[in-house]
Structure 1
Amino acid sequence: MKTALIIGASGGIGRAICKHLEAQSVVVTRLSRSNDGFDLTNPESVTQTLNELSGPYDLILVASGALEINGAAPEKSLRAVSAEAMMDQFALNAVGPALVLSHAQRLLPRNGRSVFAVLSARVGSIGDNRMGGWVSYRAAKAAVNQIVHTAAIELARTHREAICVALHPGTVKTAFTQKYLGRHPAIEPEDAAQNLLTVAEALTPADTGGFFDWAGKPIPW
């Protein structure tokens, strides 16, 4: 990879990915809400910012996301579902990546290999859900998986070597997961970044539309 666009570049995983790429002499364009005012929940912000970019990018990675928004913690059961909290989850974790994907055909090279990856989560897998709970977050991640799969089908018509995938980074020690680290083994952002980039490098066009974990193993939809 020679060029990359990292969205959510100020977060733990996004920042570590930028660092790894730049150490490999990749020219990285960083976007984030805290540093650039790039707000995935604001369609005008997404359109205006991405229209100013010319690309093409060998790698586009959407690393933005949130487990808690406006203080709303993941639901323990359906009884705790709030329409507002659910809409907030969809706006950031599903609609936002979809808005970025709507620019993918212009920002990815028409010829040659490229990767568009969106960070999803294993809890977004319907087939892997055996515990229930976390309704809004699970649903938003399941939605972004569908969005990625649909985008992959459309991209393949014009960008035959493009790879569009959802990636699960594992549980990573960031502000995102700080309150939940006791439940699962967690890794440092630097290790997560290396894992994700290793997976991205190994993907082929035959993998487009897939959902993979940090080790490159497929996750059931």
Structure 2
Amino acid sequence: MSEHKITNILVAGIGGQGVMTAAEILAQTALAQGYDVKKTEVAGMAQRGGVVTSHVRFGDKVLSPAIPPGEVDILVGFEPAESLRWCSHLRPDGVAMVSTTRQEPPVVSLGLFDYPEDPVGQLRAANIHMHAFDAGAIAAGLGNFRLVNTVMLGAISEYLPFAPEILKNVILERFRKHKPKLVEINEAAFEAGRAAQAKA
């Protein structure tokens, strides 16, 4: 965690991957634990498929929702190129949780951005503390690619200042209220994320 007992989490990915939902769940969980919470989102393109980042900050007292460069404790990268784009914002003792599932944003097909040749390799070369695994394949293996955000939340749960079970219960409670049939599969996705992080 950063100084003054503030935890800074940057969630980055492509629209439709569940970046904003993951950030919302993290903020909701921290708020329930009594933390002061600030959250902000930046969507590079409004439509589905655009680049999306979300800053989540919580602690005793948080003044600004934006995480200063070099102060990110946990980078949650739903996409490897986006993880590479933001890894320089990590603290020296920060951690990157990276899904290796490649999903090119529209700016690539429009010729506005060149997709890195080997973003995961470049991340490894950056000598950062990183856990990299294919969250998309894990989600697909469970039968639903939309489970990626639950997989990623499970993966970072060991690095949060509250027990993984607390985060998991917030996720499952959301489904109990709105989509009870999805509770069991989301619990499996959360635990699969924890297992992937432990191996990566």
TM (norm. structure 1) is 0.43
Report 1 or 2 for greater relative contact order, CA contacts < 8 Å, sequence distance ≥ 6: 1
TM (norm. structure 2) is 0.46
Whichever structure has more strand as a proportion of its residues is 2
